[in-house]
Amino acid sequence: MVKRVTSLDDFKIVHANFAELAKHHPVKHYGGLPFLPDVILAAWSNENMLINTCVLVCNFLSETEIDALCWFVVGPDFRVNKSIATSYLWVSKNNKNGLKVFLEAINILKRKRVDVINVGFLTQSPSAPQVEKLLKKMKFKPEDKSYSLVL
């Protein structure tokens, strides 16, 4: 069942499944830095943030297991005076369910009336060509490149 996570009880389920799910993320961020699931989840373990600052959608296989999540962070961008939703994390064990959570997250963001939805993806990912094709089909436009220097 695809569902938006807004309660700490559901977030605890995400926390319990996150380390396993993160193993399915094929590449690391920022020049090879590993994901730190406990740090990521501790930073977001706040119901107010779950409701107002992010859109986190998961596919629940049961009351205790998820196999896909799509997470956006929503906030103002004062450079353009608009509300921006930026992709934070999109991982899945199952591509079909990964697509379902992504599409539901996009629908929620549209209902929230954000001004811009910004989706980034790792170009080294094996699924990068399919993600790029999907985004173009959905009328997303490529805008920039990002480079990282780990110090």
- 87-140 tens-digit pLDDT: 998 888 988 999 999 999 999 999 999 999 999 877 777 778 888 899 999 999
Closest CA to 22 of 77, 71, 80: 71
Residue 144 lies in a domain: no
Residue 121 lies in a domain: yes
* pLDDT score, position 129: 85
- 8-20 tens-digit pLDDT: 999 999 988 987 8
- 53-102 tens-digit pLDDT: 999 999 999 999 999 999 999 999 999 999 999 999 888 898 899 999 99
* Residue 26 DSSP symbol: -
* Residue 100 DSSP symbol: H
Q: What is the mean pLDDT of the chain?
A: 88
Residue 146 lies in a domain: no
Q: Which whole-number Å values give the CA distances from 96 to 38, 67, 102, 134, in the listed order?
A: 27, 10, 10, 13
Q: Which domain holds residue 85?
A: 2-137
* pLDDT score, position 25: 67
Q: Could you tell me the CATH number of the domain that includes residue 127?
A: 3.40.630.30
